[in-house]
Amino acid sequence: MLSMEKRESLSKTLKRGDIWAFAFGSIVGWGWVMLAGGWVISAGTVGAIIAFIIAAVLCGFVGMAYAELTPALPLAGGSMVWCYRASGYKFAWFSGWAIAFAYVAVAAWEGPAFASAVAYLIPLPEVGFLWNIAGFDVYVPFIIVSMAGTIFTMFCHYRGLKFAAIFNTIAAIALVAGGVIFFLGGVTLGDIANAAPAIRDGFGGISIVLVAAPAMFVGFDVIPQASEEMDYPIRQVGILVLFAIFLGVLWYIMMIVGTAFAAPADFLESASIPLADAASYVFNSKIFGTFIIIAGIGGILTSWNAMFVGSTRILFSMSRAKMLPTVFSKLHPKYGSPTAAITLVGVLGLISPLLGKNALGWFVDASSFGTVVAYLTVSISFVMLRKKEPELKRPWKAPGGYFTGFMAIVSCLFFIVLYLPIGPGALEWPYEWGMVLLWVIIGIILVIVNKIQFGTVTEAERELLLFGEEYARPEKLK
């Protein structure tokens, strides 16, 4: 049997407060500041709310699969580990690479989002012109601010997840404070006439918002990635996944209502940063717009943290199981952080601002596609494990059993169709599909390299590397 001394393990450093801030901040990022006005314009106030409720219900089925499997197998790698348990190496590799793409893509665009937010507070000088990409002029100050945010995030994560969690909690408090003040100001100082019409363009308008909604819930799936590092009752970790989805839909509904009441549609259409401009409008003070930007920066930092955790932990887990080069599973001797994985994700984040501000949309859409593909693999694994391992200890069991699993699969297929060329939210060629294809090509190369480098790894060895002694299946270790 493989010696456990060779299996790197992450320390349980996250306490209750860290986890709650992490759960909320993993879902709510910067999108609500930029997109809520567009949702109201596209679908109307009630139409946008309907779209988010539909998305929350569909994501809820997937969330229940995550909520059951997270406490059953609370290991870094989350979805990849469950897929291996359900169907073996190839299925696990496919799932792991899909979710790694989603996390890395979101982590990459947080830097440009951060620079965009800072530019609202302190206008960045348009000096040092580099190039124009998709209609956006790229200047040196924009890149410097974006890179500075990325370097700071890398530093926090090098120091360990507990260190990063401190900044995450502070950012989450700023985020909640700003959002709640904006909502209360919108509904008390705004005008209900601004919220008309309730529904715009029928299902067509709702579908426009529905296409964007899955990206707004990305984050609850990061919680399992950090489950190995949580000092928290294991059953409650699963429930936390569902609670994060609930908090997410509640937050977005509050922002939709607050925005709809705060300012008329024609004002929102011309706003550079809709929620910030709407806050300045309804409070009749630029200070409140600035406050929303600060809250939005808090959202950027919390989701940035979450995506760094998700991307580095999936790379760590795949590397630990010898499914990726072993360098990604090496931990810092003092801080216990996966330094090579953090460096890789950080370097990609340093490159992303070179593509300009318009690349934000490309990264969001492409990452959403990768996310729903990974959701599909988890939903399939949920059903397979219910059948293959009914005796697996499940501290929390999803109600509905197989029905929940099948509905999760249907929900994922529905969202995937939205992103295909036949769907209303089709990914854009060559930018978004190009990102997907590039990641697939890199994956194929790594699979070939992996086969050469780790072709002699036995099933028993990989079982122990993935699950450890506590969760490994005895029959697989023989």
Residues 89 and 462 sit within 8 Å (Cβ to Cβ): yes
Query: Is residue 375 classed exposed, middle or buried when 0-12, 13-18 and 19+ CB atoms within 10 A define those classes?
Result: buried
Tokens 């709510």 — which residue?
28
Q: By residue range, what is the domain housing residue 19?
A: 4-476
Among candidate residues 23, 41, 54, the one with its CA nearest the CA of residue 256 = 41
The number of folded domains in the chain is: 1
CA distance 456 to 467: 19
Residue 478 is given by DSSP the state -
Three-state secondary structure readout of 55-108 = HHHHHHHHHHHHHHHHHHCCCCCCHHHHHHHHHCHHHHHHHHHHHHHHHHHHHH
- pLDDT of 5 reads 44
Query: Is residue 7 classed exposed, middle or buried when 0-12, 13-18 and 19+ CB atoms within 10 A define those classes?
Result: middle
- pLDDT of 107 reads 86
Whole-Å CA distances, 66 to 27, 71, 297, 370, 411: 15, 9, 28, 17, 14
The count of C-alpha atoms lying within 13 angstroms of the C-alpha of 31, restricted to the half-sphere facing its C-beta, is 28
Residues with Cβ within 8 Å of residue 206, at least 6 apart in sequence: 43, 47, 48, 50, 51, 54, 199
- pLDDT of 141 reads 94
278: CATH? 1.20.1740.10
- pLDDT of 4 reads 45
Query: Cα angle at 301 between 298 and 306, to 5 degrees?
Result: 130
Please give the structure tokens belonging to residue 198: 């309730």
Residue 14 is given by DSSP the state B
- pLDDT of 284 reads 92
Residues 29 and 299 sit within 8 Å (Cβ to Cβ): yes
Q: Which residues of the chain have pLDDT under 50?
A: 1-5
Tokens 């360990």 — which residue?
160
- pLDDT of 3 reads 47
**Beta 136-139 vs 129-133: how paired, if at all?**
antiparallel
Answer whether 0.85 is exceeded by the pTM. yes
CA distance 147 to 347: 9
Partners of 129 in beta bridges: 139
- pLDDT of 381 reads 96
CA distance 331 to 3: 18
3-state secondary structure of 396: coil
